[in-house]
Amino acid sequence: MKKGRWLRSAVLGGLLGLGIYSCHASDGKDSMVDVDKELQYCDTQIKRTLYEVKQNEYQLPRRIEKEEAAWYLTDVYDWTSGFWPGILWYNYENTREETIKEHAVCYTEWLEALLNPEHKGDHDLGFQLFCSFGNAYRLTGEERFKKTLLAGADKLAGFYNPKVGTILSWEHMVEVMGWPHNTIMDNMMNLEILFWAARNGGKKEYYDMAVSHARKTMENQFRPDATNYHVAVYDTVTGAFLKGVTNQGYADESFWARGQAWGIYGYTMVYRETQDKEFLRFAEKITEVYLERLPEDLVPFWDFDDPAIPDAPRDASSAAIVASALLELSQLEDNPEKAVRYKEYAIRMLGSLSSEKYQSGDSKPSFLVHSTGNYPGGYEIDASINYADHYYIEALIRYKKIEQGIRLSENLYPDRENKNSYTGMLSF
């Protein structure tokens, strides 16, 4: 018996006890998620969107509210603007259809406006540019996409405060909320473009900036029980941590699901980039507290501490983000049993998201329903949201590669210059 199959069998009993299990075909491969079927579903929904949206200039799909059936469109400056072109690039990666590529290129090129000097930008430049131009460069190798990525990293690095050791997230909140320097958990995702740039012609200190940000966030933005604050507020003069607050969760001390999802994904990525085991252990720690609180179908309520549970809204976007992260974490793990466990959880999450309960089906052109964007703000509640769809298709692509025997760290990055320079680098 192969070692991988033995490990799967050895931990299956424990997973059954937790309600985390999957069916296996006779050849030992996972059969819970028909990945080709689900990717075909995504392709169908994407083509519906392209037909219905008609590619209005500088307008991109963002959300479909619960009672609506059509996409609300947003402009290129919205923090979510990179997710739709990212979805198109993942679809192109799977289908290799030239028409999809043409749409992906068009929507990606629109985002060059983010580099205009008149647009100040903020920490979301990582989301906006790495999902779009990052995938464009990874899949085409065109230098123009690389040039934009490097310029985006330069602009993002301008928000780094060396006194604090993190990137400023919301400049407008300095005045509105009286937060001298604030860093939100979402910002962990934006470090990826800095790591990439440091290896691909950008400034080498971008690596140090990203590591500093991750360490400061690890030290200050998580409670002793490993749950997260959405926002960490710092003194700009001394760099001291002042307080943690939760802007989009139920309360400052509540356990906001998507914030934890950003953290799980972010620290998995930071470990991949640094190979520092401290980040791996931390990724495990914050993953475990998230998994312990999940409902039976593994799609969390928007905030684990909402007193309205079980009648509170779910957040499919958190499940999609974590499923994608755990697939990568399962391959980075140095503990074989945890590796199998994390993969099993990811498969179950994808299984739930691929069910009739969470797929939009014929009712909407999105992939998923039941995501929650900003409950306190009163919008995107029990809705379809583009970042839920983005991480869902990303997770499906990652799962397909794993089932094909591909290591994600060898097929993940838009990195064509230094592919042999460190462990985990992309190979082309």
Q: How far is CA 86 from each of CA 34, 106, 205, 394, rounded to the nearest angstrom?
A: 22, 12, 27, 9
Q: How far is CA 421 from each of CA 128, 135, 147, 202, 417, rounded to the nearest angstrom?
A: 27, 20, 21, 15, 9
* CA 333/CA 331 separation, integer angstroms: 6
Nearest one of 252, 259, 261, 260 to 233, comparing CA atoms: 252
How many Cβ atoms are within 10 Å of 353's Cβ, its own excluded? 28
* CA 292/CA 303 separation, integer angstroms: 14
Residue/partner pairs of 249-253 with CB below 8 Å, 24 or more apart: 249/303, 249/376, 250/303, 250/305, 250/306, 250/375, 250/376, 251/305, 253/223, 253/305
How many Cβ atoms are within 10 Å of 290's Cβ, its own excluded? 24
Buried b / exposed e over 370-388, threshold 16 CB at 10 Å, is: bbbbebeeeebbbbbbbbb
* CA 410/CA 379 separation, integer angstroms: 39
**Which of the residues are catalytic?**
124, 186
Q: The dihedral of CA 11, 15, 20, 26: what is its sign?
A: positive
Question: CA dihedral defined by 332, 282, 269, 158, rounded to 10 degrees?
Answer: -160
Q: How far is CA 200 from each of CA 45, 143, 421, rounded to the nearest angstrom?
A: 35, 11, 11
